[in-house]
């Protein structure tokens, strides 16, 4: 029999607290999160941008959400919480982090701050928060993808790195050593960010591009 997690909240003992796990329909992380939750004796509800065909037969088991529409999704989670009280919201995907923080803030659940999560989900915003702090600083600037690349390319230092501000996992990140490479990278990003599927599944979708100085040294992917 799995261990059970008993939580004391507001002087009431909550046995098998319910956790809402936010997962994308294309995730490969579902099994790990579900297994960990069950080992802790948690009740699991899954929030996803994929409609579960049998959800009506298992009330509270799942919740359809649109990560691209934060306000509507927060309202859906709050309504769900009124019927199936939640102890916590866990974002298993980067694209759901802001949604989890926004909903938890309104519901008074323990979570990272919305301001902090929003900053780390936007590379330019994070750079601006870090600018002026102790440590080395480097050149960076944000541009709209619709700006004239021929004008931009004359204003940036080389080598540089171009990257979408709202994508994770190194998607779209390119080092450019010359103006010609920069123009090619810019065209590639236009195609990438022109995807309707990407726009719909990314909660903080933006067509803004961050260009920053390339920092030489050992490269490590985490």
Please give the Cα distance from 200 to 217 (Å, whole number): 36
Architecture of domain 135-213: 2-Layer Sandwich (3.30)
Q: What's the half-sphere exposure (Cβ side, CA atoms, 13 Å) at 84? A: 21
Got the DSSP string for 193-208?
A: HT-HHHHHH-TT---E
- The residues of the chain that CATH labels 3.40.50.20 are 6-119
Q: What is the pLDDT of residue 25?
A: 84
Q: What is the pLDDT of residue 26?
A: 82
pLDDT by residue for the chain (222 residues), tens only, comes to: 344 444 444 434 456 899 999 998 888 888 999 899 989 999 999 999 888 776 777 889 999 998 888 999 999 999 999 999 999 999 998 889 999 999 999 999 999 999 989 888 889 988 888 886 766 678 999 999 999 999 999 999 999 999 999 888 788 999 999 999 999 999 999 999 887 766 655 555 678 999 999 988 887 766
Q: What is the pLDDT of residue 11?
A: 38
Please give the Cα distance from 177 to 166 (Å, whole number): 23
Please give the Cα distance from 72 to 75 (Å, whole number): 5
Single out the residue of 64, 71, 75, 18 nearest to residue 41, CA to CA: 18
Please give the Cα distance from 80 to 63 (Å, whole number): 8
**Would you say 89 and 77 are in contact if contact means Cβ atoms under 8 Å apart?**
yes
Please give the Cα distance from 191 to 197 (Å, whole number): 12
Q: What is the pLDDT of residue 6?
A: 41
Q: What is the pLDDT of residue 166?
A: 84
Tokens representing residue 58 in the block: 């298992």
Topology given in CATH for the domain delimited by 6-119? Rossmann fold (3.40.50)
**Would you say 185 and 176 are in contact if contact means Cβ atoms under 8 Å apart?**
yes
Question: What burial class does residue 120 get, using C-beta atoms within 10 Å of its C-beta: 0-12 exposed, 13-18 middle, 19+ buried?
Answer: middle
């Amino acid at each position: 029999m799995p261990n059970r997690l008993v939580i004391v909240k507001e002087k009431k003992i909550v046995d098998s607290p319910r956790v809402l796990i936010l997962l994308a329909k294309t995730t490969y992380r579902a099994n790990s999160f579900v297994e960990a939750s069950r080992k802790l004796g948690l009740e699991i509800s899954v929030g996803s941008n994929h409609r579960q065909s049998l959800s009506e037969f298992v009330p509270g088991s799942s919740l359809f959400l649109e990560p691209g529409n934060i306000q509507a999704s927060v309202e859906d989670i709050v309504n769900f919480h009124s019927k199936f009280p939640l102890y916590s919201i866990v974002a298993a995907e980067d694209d759901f982090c802001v949604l989890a923080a926004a909903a938890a803030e309104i519901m008074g659940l323990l979570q990272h701050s919305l301001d902090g999560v929003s900053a780390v989900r936007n590379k330019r915003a994070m750079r601006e928060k870090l600018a002026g702090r102790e440590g080395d600083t480097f050149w960076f600037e944000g541009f709209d993808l619709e700006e004239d690349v021929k004008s931009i390319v004359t204003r940036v230092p080389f080598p540089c790195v171009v990257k979408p501000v709202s994508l994770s996992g190194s998607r779209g990140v390119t080092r450019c050593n010359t103006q010609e490479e920069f123009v090619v990278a810019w065209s590639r990003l236009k195609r990438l960010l022109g995807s309707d599927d990407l726009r719909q599944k990314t909660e903080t979708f933006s067509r803004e591009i961050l260009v920053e100085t390339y920092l030489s040294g050992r490269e490590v992917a985490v």
